[in-house]
Chains A and B, each alone.
Chain A
Amino acid sequence: MRVGAGEVFGFLGPNGAGKTTVVKLLLGLTRPTGGRATVLGAPIGDRLTRRSIGYLPELFRYQPWLNAREVLELHASLIGGSAGPSPSDIGRGLEEVGLADRANDRVGTFSKGMQQRLGLAVALLGGPRLIVLDEPTSALDPAGRADVRGIIAGVRDRGATVFLNSHLLSEVERVCDRIAIVDRGRVLASGSLDDLLGGEVLRLRVTGLAPDARSELAQFGPVTAGGDDWLSIGGVPPDRHPDVVAFVVRRGGRVHAVDGGRRGLEDRYLELIRGNQS
């Protein structure tokens, strides 16, 4: 698996798939039992390379007795080096995540969402070349999630790479250039959204359709049954959607909903994960 410079890379998988383990390996927090990997051209775990990496842990928590500015000052000091973050960088960082007016408040008084914003500011401190975000929006409200999408877009615009671990497939679908889906320590699929999701898919919610008629739907394209009476038919161009609906009605089926377009990431994700686990 390879993540290119300047990409926003989504790393998906069920609980226990090994996503956080991969992140910890990249940062040298856990040692590999075998194999080889590099980050920013250096072997994983290289101490000085970590100067160019920002990290928001999944179980984020910062010293509750420090205030937000002090947390960033601490991390600026730990980054060290001649080009370490300055006080104005810290001010800008707090502003970027919407915490400028809470800079002098103790972290212990912050809500989970505010702590997550602080974690983002910590991860972005010093303009790192690689930013590793482990579930960065899990505690945020919809407005906060939109803010994070904006921050990620800003990071990409300045040429940095983002490695995004998330369960929120809709978020991943909206911000990532490329995606990998992993399970049980194996990469099941990786590539751009186009590579992974393929072409057009017609989704129908149908009841009352006899099994033989359902089989005959394959004449329009490969059929996949989903939950709640949903059927997905791959490779159906938009001008043939009425033909499919007419066929279902002709064969006695009742059509409750029709959804044309590209297959959702969730469908593809479930297909891969269920296929791997069966």
Chain B
Amino acid sequence: MTIVTIARLTIAEAVRRRIVLVLIVLTLVSVSLTTLGVERLVSLARASGTNDLQVQVGVSQILILVAFMFSFVLAMTAAFLGAPAIAADLESGVAAAMLARPIRRAELVLGRWLGLVLVVVAYAVASGLLEIAGVDAVSGSAPPYPFLAVGFHAAQAVVLLTLALALSTRLPAIASGAICVVLFGLAWMAGVFAGIGAFFGAGPLVGAAEATRWLLPTDVLWRGTVYGLEPSLIGAIAGQRVGPAANANPFYASAPPPTAFVVWSAVWIALVLGLAIWSFSRRDL
């Protein structure tokens, strides 16, 4: 019950501090502009005689780039919502007043996490589906697995949010947010290095890059989003012409993330959340 109270408080905070309003306005602006851009490009392409298959491939690539923009924005949002969730309450004294009540520290961490997850997932799902629907409406091209793409998109945000929350139990908000952003970028680069390393048969490089991707599963989840947005034709062409090196391209996925990795991502979230509870329970206020 306390977890629900704190989750509701967290959502109310996001609404009253206009975070939700800002996200809605920015999403509407982004979706409108990108949809308008896709409509113009498709009209120009069709007018110049480009066939439907080429248009479909072109639209899918634009959609993946737009998804990457949303992924980046979502990662920043998750990091900067999660980073102050505990740290700012500690600095302001709000946490001390609440924890003097008969509540467990775990309940505060879980309540904060649950409230922020609901905000971030709602944002990810709404912005993702709206963008896909908008592009489909103006181009007639729909990605093969839109819900899979949006699901991986949201999962990526939950991973970063959980990491930011765990760091904020010990570090100031700004430091936690900065660490998350840097690690997000590193995991993305690790995906590129893993692809290049595989092409050259560089075992140690691939090992290090893959380890990084398992330590912070955001890039593999991002590839899941790409897979969901990519027509199967692109996979077939890339597989034939470029081979395994195609995986070095961060906007390409030859296959969805393996089930084991999806399970690992869920375990990773549970482990980091457990670490956050353990860390917060042991610190003196």
A62 to B13, CA, bound (A): 12
- Contact residues in A for B2 (Cβ distance below 8 Å): 77-78, 80
Task: Kindly identify which residue among B9, B99, B102 contacts A63, using a CB–CB cutoff of 8 Å.
Answer: B9
A77 to B17, CA, bound (A): 22
- Contact residues in A for B232 (Cβ distance below 8 Å): none
Given the known interface contacts A61-B94, A63-B13, the answer about A75 and B101 at a Cβ–Cβ threshold of 8 Å is yes
- On whether the beta carbons of B104 and A47 are closer than 8 Å, the reply is yes
Q: Mark A59-94, 1 if CB is under 8 A from B, else 0.
A: 111110110000000110111110000000000000
State the B residues within 8 Å of A (CB): 1-2, 5, 9, 12-13, 16-17, 92-94, 96-104, 284-285
Cβ distance A125 to chain B, nearest Cβ, rounded Å: 10
Question: Which 5 A-B pairs rank lowest in CB-CB distance, beginning with the nearest?
Answer: A78-B101, A59-B93, A55-B100, A65-B16, A30-B284
Nearest A residue (CB) for B97: A57
- What count of chain A residues pass the 8 Å CB interface test? 30
Nearest A residue (CB) for B92: A61
- On whether the beta carbons of B104 and A63 are closer than 8 Å, the reply is no
A51 within 8 A of B: yes
- Contact residues in B for A53 (Cβ distance below 8 Å): 100
A31 within 8 A of B: yes
State the A residues within 8 Å of B (CB): 24, 27-31, 47-51, 53, 55, 57, 59-63, 65-66, 74-75, 77-81, 119, 122
26 contacts between A and B (CB under 8 A): A24-B285, A29-B96, A29-B100, A29-B284, A30-B285, A31-B284, A49-B102, A50-B100, A50-B101, A51-B101, A53-B100, A55-B100, A57-B93, A59-B96, A60-B93, A60-B97, A61-B97, A65-B16, A74-B9, A77-B2, A78-B98, A78-B101, A79-B101, A80-B1, A80-B2, A122-B97
- On whether the beta carbons of B97 and A62 are closer than 8 Å, the reply is yes
- Contact residues in B for A119 (Cβ distance below 8 Å): 97
- Contact residues in A for B13 (Cβ distance below 8 Å): 63, 65
A15 to B100, CA, bound (A): 23
Instruction: Determine which residue in B101, B102, B104 has the highest number of CB atoms from chain A within 10 A of its CB, and name it.
Output: B101
A52 to B73, CA, bound (A): 45
Cβ distance B225 to chain A, nearest Cβ, rounded Å: 33
A190 to B93, CA, bound (A): 30
A61 to B93, CA, bound (A): 6
- Contact residues in A for B102 (Cβ distance below 8 Å): 47-51, 78-81
Instruction: Determine which residue in B13, B92, B99, B102 has the highest number of CB atoms from chain A within 10 A of its CB, and name it.
Output: B102
Nearest B residue (CB) for A71: B97
A24 to B284, CA, bound (A): 9
- Contact residues in A for B96 (Cβ distance below 8 Å): 24, 29, 57, 59
Cβ distance B241 to chain A, nearest Cβ, rounded Å: 55
Given the known interface contacts A63-B13, A65-B17, the answer about A78 and B93 at a Cβ–Cβ threshold of 8 Å is no
Cβ distance B21 to chain A, nearest Cβ, rounded Å: 13
Nearest A residue (CB) for B17: A65
- Contact residues in B for A49 (Cβ distance below 8 Å): 102
A29 to B2, CA, bound (A): 18
- Contact residues in B for A55 (Cβ distance below 8 Å): 97, 100
- On whether the beta carbons of A29 and B99 are closer than 8 Å, the reply is yes
Cβ distance A27 to chain B, nearest Cβ, rounded Å: 5
